[in-house]
Each structure stands twice: as structure tokens, then as C-alpha cells.
């Protein structure tokens, strides 16, 4: 009888101990779970501001079209000077993202023209370099001598020519100039402005023209080389696409309807 009683007591002690251990283990698991949830919640709480900060940083370093940046600054200046009417007419429409390849395309009609770095109109921009050198490139040497003005020919004047071409590109890609091209030039009925790749290409072409004329004058052959270059460019572009530097100027500022129709016939032959 005593043996049975001792066995019963011992069994109850074992059951009590096991139950206590299970309860303690369950409490520990619940505690660990609560702690894990708390840590996770805190981490998520920390990650949300970090994610927001990351998005802000990414947005802040996102590259923006440099023409648009300069355009916005110019708009602010124009707003103070002449008001909203000027801004509506001078709104930048060009400067969109064009094509990287091929670098040169032979097309002179929409949609490929003005979308690549170079096209047939790039030959016109070479003549801009000739014009800029004629305006401020050659005469300082006559006054102060070559040694004193060499930096101007190869550096200072060339940079000024680049800025002048950039100004031309900005004006050319404003809404009112695009409308003028569409209205007066038979090749530009669907002209939408230049891509920024084409703008860079035009600036490079103009700079190339500056240095070609500088070298020609350096070797004293500019009176022969430049007129011949201009003549070949004029005739070649007229034969190829019924447009040229002279025709562009004529059609923009003194348009001739018969020339516009003659240019537009290229669309029908396309």
C-alpha cells in the first residue's frame, strides 16, 4: 500500500514538473515571438524613412535635359522682363531624346531628320562656324599680331562661337520658330524641333567649321577654300534635298510660295 502511494506521489511530481516546463517553454516562445514582432516592427519603422530618403536621393540625382534646365532659367528672366506673352512664344519644344545610332542618317524629312547626331542639315551648321569666324575670328590678329591673339583663334573665339551656336539652337527649337519653319519651308511641314543629340551634333559641326576656316586662314588659303566649300554645299544640298543655307534664310524671312511647293514635292516622291 505504501509502495502504491509513493508511486502515485512520484507520478504527480513528474507530471507537475513536466507541466511547469511546458508552460515555461510556451511562455518563452510567446516572449520570443512578441520580441521578434517588436523588432520587425521597429525595423520596418526604420526602413520606411530610409526608403523615402532613398527615393528622394534617386530623384534628386536623376539626370535632366540640360536644355530644359537652361530653358527654365531663361523663362524666369523673361518673365521679369517681358511677361507671359514672350514665354508662350519662346517655350522650348525641341531638346527631346532622339536616337543614338546611327550617328549619321541621310534623311532630310520627318521622322528621322533632326533625331540623330548628324544629318544633311549638319552641312549647313558647318557654315555657321565660317560665319562666326568671319565676325570675330580673323581681325584681332591684324590689330595685335598672331602671337598675342593665338589663344583667341584656338580657344577664346572658338568657345564664343560654341555659345553663339547654342543660342541659335535654343532659338531654333522654340515654339514660334518651329511654327515658322512649318509654315514657310516645304521640307519642314512636320518639323517638331531637334533632339538633344542633334543639337549636340549641330554644335560640333559649327565648331568644326570654325576650325576649318581658322586653319585655312592660317595657311592663307581661306579666300579660295571657303568660297569653294560654300558653293559646293549650296549646290549639293539643293540638288539632294531642295534646301540650302540661302533657301532657309529666304523662306524664313521672305517666303516664296512657289519654292515652298517645289520643296514639298519631295514628300510626294518619297
Residues 6+ apart with CB under 8 A from 161: 129, 132, 133, 137, 206, 207, 210
Contact 130, 215 (CB under 8 A): no
pLDDT of residue 131: 96
- The sign one gets for the Cα dihedral 183, 189, 190, 194 is negative
Domain ranges of the chain: 1-62, 93-269
Collapse the DSSP code of 104 into the 3-class scheme (helix H, G, I; strand E, B; otherwise coil) and give the result.
strand
The reported pTM is 0.68
Q: Write down the pLDDT at residue 267.
A: 67
Position 93 scores a pLDDT of 72
10-residue block means of pLDDT along the chain (270 residues)?
A: 50 50 52 53 51 52 55 59 52 77 93 94 97 94 87 94 95 92 93 93 97 94 94 97 96 94 77
For 110, counting Cβ atoms within 10 Å of its Cβ (0-12 exposed, 13-18 middle, 19+ buried), the class is: middle
pLDDT at 39: 46
Which DSSP category does 111 fall into? T
CA 162 to each of CA 61, 64, 141, 165, 191: distance values in angstroms, whole numbers, following the listed order: 27, 21, 20, 5, 24
How far is it, in rounded angstroms, from Cα 68 to Cα 93? 10
CA atoms within 13 A on the CB side of 253: 5
Backbone angles phi and psi of 92, in degrees to 5: -75, 120
Q: How much is the pLDDT for 147?
A: 85
Amino acid at each position: 500500500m505504501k509502495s502504491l502511494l509513493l508511486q502515485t506521489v512520484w507520478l504527480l511530481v513528474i507530471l507537475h514538473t513536466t507541466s511547469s516546463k511546458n508552460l515555461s517553454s510556451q511562455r518563452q516562445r510567446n516572449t520570443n515571438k512578441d520580441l521578434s514582432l517588436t523588432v520587425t516592427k521597429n525595423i520596418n519603422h526604420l526602413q520606411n524613412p530610409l526608403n523615402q530618403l532613398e527615393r528622394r536621393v534617386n530623384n534628386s540625382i536623376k539626370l535632366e535635359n540640360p536644355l530644359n534646365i537652361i530653358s527654365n532659367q531663361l523663362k524666369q528672366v523673361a518673365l521679369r522682363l517681358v511677361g507671359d506673352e514672350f514665354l508662350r512664344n519662346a517655350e522650348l519644344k525641341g531638346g527631346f531624346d532622339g536616337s543614338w545610332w546611327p550617328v549619321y542618317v541621310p534623311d532630310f524629312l520627318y521622322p528621322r531628320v533632326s533625331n540623330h547626331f548628324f544629318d544633311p542639315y549638319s552641312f549647313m551648321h558647318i557654315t555657321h562656324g565660317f560665319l562666326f569666324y568671319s565676325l570675330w575670328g580673323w581681325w584681332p590678329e591684324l590689330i595685335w599680331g598672331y602671337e598675342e591673339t593665338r589663344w583667341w583663334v584656338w580657344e577664346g573665339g572658338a568657345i564664343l562661337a560654341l555659345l553663339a551656336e547654342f543660342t541659335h539652337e535654343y532659338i531654333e527649337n522654340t515654339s514660334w520658330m518651329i511654327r515658322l519653319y512649318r509654315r514657310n519651308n516645304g521640307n519642314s511641314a512636320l518639323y517638331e524641333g531637334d533632339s538633344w543629340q542633334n543639337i549636340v551634333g549641330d554644335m560640333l559641326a559649327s565648331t568644326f567649321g570654325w576650325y576649318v576656316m581658322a586653319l585655312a586662314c592660317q595657311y592663307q588659303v581661306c579666300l579660295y577654300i571657303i568660297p569653294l566649300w560654300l558653293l559646293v554645299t549650296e549646290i549639293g544640298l539643293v540638288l539632294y534635298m531642295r534646301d540650302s543655307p540661302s533657301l532657309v534664310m529666304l523662306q524664313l524671312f521672305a517666303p516664296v510660295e512657289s519654292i515652298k511647293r517645289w520643296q514639298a514635292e519631295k514628300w510626294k516622291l518619297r
